[in-house]
Amino acid sequence: SDARVFSVVVIPFAVSNRLLLSRDVSQIERVETMRRDFVANVSHELRTPLTVVLGFLEHLVHDPGMDPATRANFTNMLHDQAQRMNRLVGDLLTLSKLENRQQPLPGEVVDMPALIAALVEDGRALSNGKHVFEVQDEAGNLLGSVNELRSAFGNLVSNAVRYTPAGGIIKLRWHTENGAPVFSVADNGIGIAAEHLPRLTERFYRVDKGRSAQTGGTGLGLAIVKHALLNHQARLEIDSALGAGSTFKAVFPAARLIVSASLAA
Ligand code: ADP
């Protein structure tokens, strides 16, 4: 009869619709929870230095006769905390730009030797002579966004400096593996225990919050790396052992490599 045809045809649709709907709802809930956590994290990360700033300002205002050495000390600490807030807001803006990029990549020819030289210069400035830098530049140029790659690679270099004790070696390597261009930063620093690796690129995820904050970390560096690489269809590989050091590798699609005449020869 008609009724039987109706039930055969409609019920499977109804079931699959309901399944789809509940999957959509749980996806929306997940996104909403992430958004709430993010706002709570940002608020907390800003409030911590702000509380310190307000405390020092109160002392300065209420104690005009404070001795000059203490005053200078307080002013320095105010400056440090303001810089910390500035770094956080800067990283938040960088991350939001990476996520909302309008023009699609490929983009421009990135002069890798020049970019690597700039990265080493920035790394040396941050290291303050405490680390040895080694460079191995064996590939050509890359098709992509120089700004995004500079901020991704720059974060890898600054992490290598910040998580490697004085005297450590930081190696920047640009080469190809099975035709795929690979940029890597290796250090022989404190390393990361395996259980942390899957969560490292999450915003504000840190192995040691104290060390991260003390060395100027915002907790957003690897989230920036992840999004910049995603925009280049590249993946991040992390190889690390506690106490032995870490290697962070950005593996790009072969199509992004521009082999220069001198390297091809
Ligand atoms: P942060 O500002 O805290 O450094 P990141 O997102 O750059 O934030 O890194 C997340 C965490 O990953 C760091 O807090 C640190 O625990 C760990 N990490 C990143 N790079 C290294 C490294 N080269 N060696 C050891 N640990 C690292």
Index of the ligand 1 atom closest to the CA of residue 216: 2
Candidate from 212, 220, 236 with most ligand 1 atoms within 8 A of CB, to mutate: 212
DSSP structural state of residue 202: S
Read off the pLDDT of residues 120-151 as tens digits, 9 standing for 90 and up.
Answer: 999 999 999 999 999 999 989 999 999 999 99
Q: Which whole-number Å values give the CA distances from 137 to 81, 134, 159, 174, in the listed order? A: 38, 10, 20, 5
Length of the chain (residues): 265
pLDDT at 112: 97
Index of the ligand 1 atom closest to the CA of residue 223: 6
Sign of CA dihedral 263, 178, 229, 186: negative
Stronger pLDDT, 175 or 2, i.e. the higher one: 175
Token output for 179: 């035709």
Say if pTM beats, i.e. exceeds, 0.95.
no
pLDDT at 102: 80
CB atoms within 10 A of CB 25: 10
Candidate from 95, 187, 206, 215 with most ligand 1 atoms within 8 A of CB, to mutate: 206
Beta bridge partners of 132: 169
Give residue 4's pLDDT band: very low, low, confident or very high (50, 70, 90). very low
Token output for 131: 């680390």
Candidate from 83, 88, 159 with most ligand 1 atoms within 8 A of CB, to mutate: 159
Atom 20, ligand 1: residue with shortest CA distance: 159
201 vs 220: CA distance, rounded Å: 8
Q: Which whole-number Å values give the CA distances from 35 to 30, 31, 32, in the listed order? A: 9, 6, 5
Distance in Å, CA 265 to ligand 1 centroid: 39
Index of the ligand 1 atom closest to the CA of residue 201: 6
pLDDT at 150: 97
Distance in Å, CA 10 to ligand 1 centroid: 53
Please, are residues 115 and 149 in contact by the beta-carbon 8 Å criterion? yes
CB atoms within 10 A of CB 190: 19
